[in-house]
Amino acid sequence: MVEIGKVVLDKGWLAARSTEIELTGVQLTTTHPPSGPTSPWMEAVVPGTVLTTLVKNKLVPDPFYGLQNETIIDIADSGREYYTFWFFTTFECNLLNNQHIELNFRAINYSAEVYLNGHKEILPKGMFRRHSVDVTDILHPDGTNLLAVLVHPPDHPGRIPPKGGQGGDHEIGKDVAAQYVEGWDWIAPTRDRNTGIWDEVSFCVTGPVKIVDPHLVSSIFDNNKKIYLHTTTELVNKSSWVAECSLNIQVATELDGNIWSVEHLQTQHLSIPSGAHVHYTFPELFFYKPNLWWPNGMGKQSLYNVEITVDVKGFGESDSWSHHFGFRKIESHIDGATGGRLFKVNGEPIFIRGGNWILSDGLLRLSKKRYETDIKFHADMNFNMIRCWGGALAERPDFYRYCDIYGILVWQEFWITGDVDGRGDPVSNPDGPLDHDLFLLCARDTIKLLRNHPSLALWVGGNEQVPPEDINIALKSYLKLHPHFENLGGNDILREISPMLKDPSQYLDGTRVYVRGSLWDGFADGKGGFTDGPYEIQNPEDFFKEDYYKYGFNPEVGSVGMPVAATIRATMPPEGWEIPLFKKLPNGYVQEVANSIWEYHKYMPYSKPEKKVHDQILLYGTPKDLDDFCLKAQLVNYIQYRALLEGWTSRMWSKYTGVLIWKTQNPWTGLRGQFYDHLHDQTAGFYGCRCAAEPIHVQLNLATCYIEVVNTTSEDVSDVAIEAAIWDLDGTSPYYKVSENLNVPSKRIIPVFEMTYPKSKNAKPAYFLLLKLYNASDFGILSRNFYWLHLPGGDYKHLEPYRNKKIPLKITSQALLRGSTYEVRMRVQNTSKKSDCKSLLDKNKFIKSTTLGDYDSSSLEPVPSAIVGKQDMSLFQKIRRNFSKEPNSLKVAETNGTEEGVAFFLHFSVHALEKDQKEGEDTRILPVHYSDNYFSLVPGEEMPITISFEVPPGITPRVTLNGWNYDGGLTVL
């Protein structure tokens, strides 16, 4: 008997342009199959798009490199047939009696004809719908099956106006498809409009009865102690006889390794008539004090494995389904104090600090590995929410799986954007897609696909627009809340009064709020006014001012995002390495004039003359070349995004309930609004966010000069102390203050004292400020925050000669290896002498969580983590056990330097050690996860750093350290 279950078809595909194939689909899957990648057939990328396949085969240049996208013919000029492609593969499957097989396409764009062994099936239109075709009766007797799929582009691919713009000519909005593909102010047009089999293809073998779309819902009572699991599933009897079934549900949690604890096991018996499609609801399962799922920064992301199986009498196991599920309750409502939307998880208010997300890759080269890196990066920045913007995708299950693991709440929008659905140039059609029924079919299917993920927090109708009235009314009906999930309070009473209340798992969702648009109902002004933004460089102190933003929750506020110089060189030809010209205007401000390649890649300047923002890069002096420009841009990136988040946090609950930054990353090689680039190298803004969004945090209010302590957690912080020390460029500490015996209540921000140094008579024009928040009991550092500052009206130009000051460093490192994964643990110490400042608390005892555990600076050995962090403890333990430690692998690197002072803006990078390295070659190994980067050390201070990364086969890695005082680079491992 063929094994019951799913087989993914992601290898061995061929593709060819339809106009170059004279054979029919019947012929391709019977008498004339392609024999291999011989012209016009080529190796295909599935899942992927036509353009993905053409790039792979080097038939078109990389559209993300330089201006090469301009050399690729656009579908508006070529016609739809040019991007209509055949995809072909074979698979082995030979069924036994009473087995059934379905061929599944989780998504295609935009419609397709499927041929299997000479039989034809039409896959109807819509980018966001699943297709299942029962092919039981057309499998080939010898088990070898020929599959050909003819994929057609969207019906209305549109044309790109000469000036480009948001969504091109908006024609794509007539289809139920991603709208970014005609171009936006952050991406160039996608020439094939993402035509292709862009998501998973598989076949599933079942017995007579199939399980379809189970729905899991947890209801929580008695202060999170009593929890019920409600489960409804669809069952389809494909046989010609009544199926006597044993339907089983099992809930288990992983204890360690492959040891599982079964929390519940229940069996129900039922009869399903021949050909019937029934909905069955299990009796609810009761849990007492189970482990809860919490967002990042609030607790563990506990996940249970729920497995449903169906056994049919006379056959055996017929089908199975499993899903990782988290017990949690999501609520949101408009906060009376701020007017912003306030989110609660398990009854606890969550201050939202997160980002807007477009998609992982503009050519839909989506993978589990890339998704995991993307989502872990967001968790590493201490973010707790991602907004999936309406002009892109209903994100894939793999995306949500990693959001579940790393604790990232998700705001998921449907496929409406104001620019393409009601405004713009030319003015677009406000009535959304032409086929409203198709939109709603895709919406229902998307809800079923994603609803079991604990990370999914909110459904939103569209971006800066409300869906057409009939669609909006339908979505409100589909997503109406079960009474338990309404903000009524007294849910235990509700349950007692209404014991026969309909089971929540019988709703389409029933557990999450639906909001009609991103500017309505607690977001921006709440009434649809364009009160999100701004999207340009800001004066850092402005973020802290009372009048900066009027409303309680800003869904989009954006800024710059210049990557490091190595990324510019890797993604652009030499003419793209020219830095902007700085043009001084009559009003005294500077306008940046970027080269044409930067303009094409949507570069955002570091000045805004019309908003009276001086060029923030020029504050450090005129950059002399690309490396200098990008390094100074990283200084600005760090300050800009740290100030944005700290400014919002400084008015937590009194003025704001949350903020989402536009945007966290680019799905191509863009030059704005990102914390890591498309190659997965982080900007310094990544670490500015990581610092600012700490759950417990000490910060400087740039508007008032007060030191503030932030506690976003659900626990009070007691008996802590703040140490504030100023360091000047001469290596002395003219200002030092300690404030002890502090208590910070849960979810509060406390101003502690004013940092008065800027008002002193002898204040230096540029200086450093180090803040540390300690546990008084053991001097453990809860938060560390380092600032470089200038006096009001000044600049940072005094830092330019400081680059020549050589500060001695000592780096102790140890590398551990598991397969191809390296973990490097190190201590970095500024060995210059300490100032005479009377530091009472400087113990360098870090207790912050890092990638794989917490590290004490006195040892390179891991110590148990108080908070597990982003994965189940068992996974940490498994990883830790499998790392092999090479004997005598402790290494020490030191820099030559005799001067005293701050080792400023240190940053690591990982490279491939190559014997025959070509000049200008990008040797970086990416992605890399750092516990911290772009950091600074005062005299005598040391910091533990962990680095983890995978290395391609045959490559030896080297770790290098650069910094403001170390521009030559130091190999430390």
- H/E stretch holding 795 reads none
Q: Give 489's contacts (C-beta < 8 A, 6+ positions apart).
A: none
**Nearest residue to 438 (alpha-carbon basis) of 213, 655, 154:** 154
**Nearest residue to 290 (alpha-carbon basis) of 231, 332, 229:** 229
Instruction: Give the C-alpha separation, 84 to 824, whole Å.
Output: 48
Instruction: Check if the beta carbon of residue 604 is closer than 8 Å to that of residue 590.
Output: no
CA distances from 772 to 26, 531, 642, 666, 735 (A): 71, 36, 16, 34, 14
Structure tokens at 653: 């609950």
Q: Give 930's contacts (C-beta < 8 A, 6+ positions apart).
A: 682, 908, 945, 946, 947
Instruction: Give the C-alpha separation, 609 to 618, whole Å.
Output: 13
Instruction: Check if the beta carbon of residue 115 is closer than 8 Å to that of residue 147.
Output: yes
Instruction: Give the C-alpha separation, 504 to 709, whole Å.
Output: 41
Instruction: Give the C-alpha separation, 101 to 203, whole Å.
Output: 7
**Nearest residue to 291 (alpha-carbon basis) of 737, 802, 828, 868:** 868
Instruction: Give the C-alpha separation, 968 to 973, whole Å.
Output: 16
The amino acid occupying position 749 is I
DSSP secondary structure of 511-541: SSEEES-TTBSSSTTSBS-S-----S---GG
**Nearest residue to 684 (alpha-carbon basis) of 693, 674, 695, 694:** 674
Instruction: Give the C-alpha separation, 946 to 814, whole Å.
Output: 10
Cis peptide before 11 (omega within 30 of 0): no
**Nearest residue to 29 (alpha-carbon basis) of 126, 191, 140:** 140
Helix, strand, coil percentages for the chain (3-state, nearest 5): 20, 35, 45
**Nearest residue to 518 (alpha-carbon basis) of 559, 458, 442:** 458
DSSP secondary structure of 236-260: EE-SSS-EEEEEEEEEEEEEETTEE
**What are φ and ψ of residue 374, in 5° steps?**
-55, -50
Instruction: Give the C-alpha separation, 522 to 136, whole Å.
Output: 50
Structure tokens at 963: 């910094």
Q: Look at residue 691 and give its three-state secondary structure.
A: helix
Strands 85-92 and 144-152: antiparallel
Catalytic residues: 464, 556
**How does 229-252 read in b/e, with b if 16+ C-beta sit within 10 Å?**
bbbbbebbbbbeeebebebbbbbb
Strands 243-256 and 304-312: antiparallel
Strands 409-413 and 456-460: parallel
CA distances from 119 to 10, 200, 643 (A): 22, 21, 61
CA distances from 341 to 36, 477, 523, 608, 609 (A): 56, 21, 6, 31, 33
Instruction: Check if the beta carbon of residue 817 is closer than 8 Å to that of residue 801.
Output: no
Q: Look at residue 563 and give its three-state secondary structure.
A: coil
